[in-house]
Amino acid sequence: MAGTRFQFFSTFSRQFSSLGNAHSAQSSKLSIGDIRQKRLDIFNQELKRQQSLISRLEKIEVNYQGFNDETVTLIMNKGVSTPYNCAQHISELLTKKSVVAEINGEVWDMHRPIPSDCTLKLLHMKPEDPQQAALVNKTFWRSCSFLLGAVVENSFQDDVSVTLHSFPPANVRSGSFVHDVHLNLDSWAPSQNDFRQIAASFQKFVRNGFIFQRLDIDSSLALKMFEDNIFKTEQIPHIATKSNSGRSVTVYRIGDHIDISRGPMIASSSLVGRCSIAAIHKLDSGFYRFQGVALPSDIYVNHFAFGILESRARNMNPARTPELNAKA
């Protein structure tokens, strides 16, 4: 994706490069592509290390509970097999439609290994149960925010400082998914062409069908992974204290992008269908709130109806705005 950065941002990068500060000077040492590659290397090394801790395969019993009282008992590999692997043993349709899983009632990523005997449910985008529908909708919205960050981070020229801050908890009723980003473009007013270009890049990215890959890592490793992002290094100790161990941070990888989130995420980016970048609101202290709206790939509406969704998504999302504690 590094080769697809939008050239129309180069004007802004030249205009505002003189506004660079200590933060942009720090970030300019490495390009976004270099930073992403460094994070990928750390991620892959840690994944390989954790996988090597499984000295021998143990079997577990997974009791799948499907629709119309369908039940299937599967013998899978402890700490290796995932809900997606279980779906592969049941039907091809389940592998395509399943968005997220439930393991013993806990929402679970489709590509996250199963640790013990369990009861498994696989949820799609149109569950009849209201509680399941709420879980699926939040998972979809959260994943779209993550994807938006992946696209925005790679959309500007290297001399524009782009630092992802965070995205608020998924709230479908707000009308938009969000990612808050710090830029050294204090007076940037994006054009309609900018919106179309970012949306086109978003669509191109999701059509790659990347899976969301989850990894729990020690906070010290997380600090090393995100040492180029002053906001993440500030957030990581606080995030770690809320984990069961008091030292763990959950990161997700999709394509060449890695970020922090408690998850869960949808199984694959291919589950995202029609989308639009509806608004970019300038906040305080160099922050911009990127807002989008999207539909699942198997849900279709006409142009008029989607226009209503876009109009609603343009309103400033009421989620809490980021605070600039670290000096950018």
Structure confidence by residue, pLDDT tens digits, 174-207: 999 999 999 988 788 999 989 999 999 999 999 9
User: Cis bond leading into 264, ω under 30°?
Assistant: yes
Q: What is the pLDDT of residue 128?
A: 85
- Do residues 64 and 211 both lie within one domain? no
| End-of-domain residue from the set 124, 146, 171 | 124
pLDDT score of 68 = 79
pLDDT band at 76 (very low <50, low <70, confident <90, very high): very high
- 156 part of a folded domain: yes
- Same domain assignment for residues 188 and 307: yes
pLDDT band at 325 (very low <50, low <70, confident <90, very high): low
Mean pLDDT of 291-316: 95
Q: Does residue 150 share a domain with residue 260?
A: yes
More confident residue, 14 or 238: 238
The residues with which 258 forms a beta bridge, in sequence order, are 253
What is the value of pTM for the model shown? 0.89
pLDDT at 19 over 70: no
Torsion, CA 39, CA 45, CA 50, CA 56, rounded to 10:
150
Please check the confidence at residue 79 and state whether its pLDDT lies above 90.
Answer: yes
The mean predicted confidence, pLDDT, of the chain is: 89
Domain membership of residue 305 (yes or no) is yes
DSSP 8-state assignment for residue 298: T
Number of domains in the chain: 2
86, 91, 93, 95: CA torsion to nearest 10: 20
Helix (H/G/I), strand (E/B), else coil: 282: strand
Least Cα distance to 264 among 161, 141, 164, 182 occurs for 141
d(CA 86, CA 43): 25
Question: Do 275 and 162 share a structural domain?
Answer: yes
Q: Are 222 and 263 found together in one domain?
A: yes
Q: Helix, strand or coil for residue 256?
A: coil
Domain boundary residue, one of 95, 124, 153: 124
Residue with tokens 């992002």: 229
The CATH number linked to 73 is: 3.10.20.30
* Residue 149 shares a structural domain with residue 85: no
| Predicted pLDDT at 16 | 34
For residue 143, count other CB atoms closer than 10 A to its CB: 29
d(CA 186, CA 286): 6
Cα–Cα distance for residue pair 290/190, rounded to 1 Å? 11
Instruction: Identify the pLDDT of residue 5.
Output: 52
Residue ranges of alpha helices (H) inside 183-302 are: 192-206, 219-225, 230-241
More confident residue, 286 or 82: 82
Residue 155, domain extent: 7-48+135-313
Looking at the domain assignment, is residue 24 inside a domain? yes
Q: Are residues 40 and 74 in the same domain?
A: no
What are 234-288's pLDDT values in tens digits?
999 999 999 999 999 999 999 999 999 999 999 999 999 999 999 999 998 889 9
